[in-house]
Amino acid sequence: MNESVGHDRLAAARALLGWYEAIGVDSIVLPEAIDRFSVPAAPSPPLVPRVPQSRPQARHPETPPHPAPSVAAPGSGDEVMLARSEAARAGSLEELEQILGTFEGCALRQTARRLVFSDGNPAGRLMLVGEAPGRDEDAQGKPFVGRSGQLLDRMLAAIGLDRSGVYIANVVPWRPPGNRTPSPLETEICQPFIARQIELADPDVLIFLGGAASKAITGSSEGILRARGKWSSHHTGQREIPCMATLHPAYLLRQPAQKRLAWRDMLAIRRRLDATG
């Protein structure tokens, strides 16, 4: 192999690894999922040849076997029911965080470094909800502290806000391995907790950062470019809260030309806060 070609390939490989590290990829995702929490099946016992009976045996009624204990299979829905029950018993945001800290129903808890519950001011009039933490958030235990969070801070500053006056959370409070998208089941398990978090925070205005957060909370299947900028209401069981979806800061980092749309949304948020103040 030509020596210069070898150096070029090595440099390209290093650049690719550097890019993976920068965007938070720290594990390999295989084509098929591996359930690392399943118990290996016990080996089957060897077959033993049947010995014929020398004389007829008296027949007795068979005793019905005892039913096996009911064990919930992964994804059976029991995790979702458990999440709903646990979320409902939280009487405050502090209790909800404690409950999530010991909740075993979501496998993401096993791979994440720490719980990413919230940041900002729980009494803030504006609440922002994203999808899931990334690498920086997992390391610090706070949502939106990486590059996306820095852009979010600038967006808030543009309308006269900062984290001392807003409350920030995610639908999924644990980082998925390799920053992958949370599975539908993982999102469904976590949904009761974010719904309770919104109810307990009781903001005046609720904003979904990205289509995934909007879909998880409102059930809307509309794409974010069509959904953004439209006001609707989120019912907490106590009252109706004005809500709207806008573009996720991570999307704006990839598509900076769309910042003009996000700016329109930020101005609309400012007007709504002023109107409800």
Q: What is the pLDDT of residues 89-139, one digit of tens each?
A: 999 999 999 999 999 999 999 999 999 999 999 999 999 999 999 999 999
Residue-level pLDDT at 61: 40
The predicted model gives 53-60 an average pLDDT of 45
Domain boundaries, the chain: 78-276
Phi, psi of 245 (to 5 degrees): -100, 145
DSSP assignment, residue 241? E
Residues 6+ apart with CB under 8 A from 89: 95, 99
In this prediction, residue 77 has a pLDDT band, given cuts at 50, 70 and 90, of confident
The residue that leads in pLDDT, 22 or 240, is: 240
CA atoms within 13 A on the CB side of 148: 25
Q: How far apart, in Å, do the first and last CA atoms of the chain sit? A: 70
| Least confident interval from 74-83, 101-110, 195-204 | 74-83
pTM above 0.75, yes or no: no
The verdict on domain 78-276 having CATH code 3.40.470.10 is yes
Q: Between the CA atoms of 121, 123, 127 and 132, what dihedral angle is there, to the nearest 10 degrees?
A: 50
- Binning pLDDT at 50, 70 and 90, where does residue 11 land? low
Residue 69 has pLDDT above 50, yes or no: no
- How confident is the model over 175-193, as pLDDT tens digits? 999 999 999 999 999 999 9
pLDDT at position 38, please?
A: 52
Q: How many CB atoms lie within 10 A of CB 84?
A: 15
pLDDT of residue 29: 55
* Structure confidence at residue 277 as a pLDDT band (50, 70, 90): confident
- Partners of 232 in the beta sheet? 243
**Res. 50: pLDDT tops 60:** no
Q: Does residue 205 surpass a pLDDT of 90? A: yes
